[in-house]
Amino acid sequence: MTKGKDWMAGAVKPENKGKFGAKAKAAGMSTPAYAAKEKNAPGKLGKEARLAQTFAKFRPGSRGR
């Protein structure tokens, strides 16, 4: 794994970009709200939710939630 913020570029495969946001939209929730709800889910969904929360910490203007 690469050091610094460069790891983020390879964390999500191009064919999977936007899929978690689409799941959140289908559930009628924002991406951060859906990530908070599903962070303890087992399997792939839980991993996606935790990764979304990690990415949110690096988003400009975020408060590190």
Q: For residues 44 and 21, what is the distance between their CA atoms, to the nearest angstrom? A: 14
Residue type, 58: F
Digit-coded pLDDT (tens) for 47-58: 999 999 999 988
Label each residue of 6-35 as H, E or C: HHHHHCCCHHHCCHHHHHHHHCCCCHHHHH
In a domain, 6, yes or no: no
In a domain, 61, yes or no: yes
What percentage of residues in the chain have a pLDDT greater than 70? 86
In a domain, 59, yes or no: yes
| End-to-end CA gap in the chain | 24
Digit-coded pLDDT (tens) for 19-30: 999 999 999 999
**Position with higher pLDDT, 64 vs 35:** 35
pLDDT of residue 58: 84
pTM over the 0.95 mark: no
Number of domains the chain is built from:
1
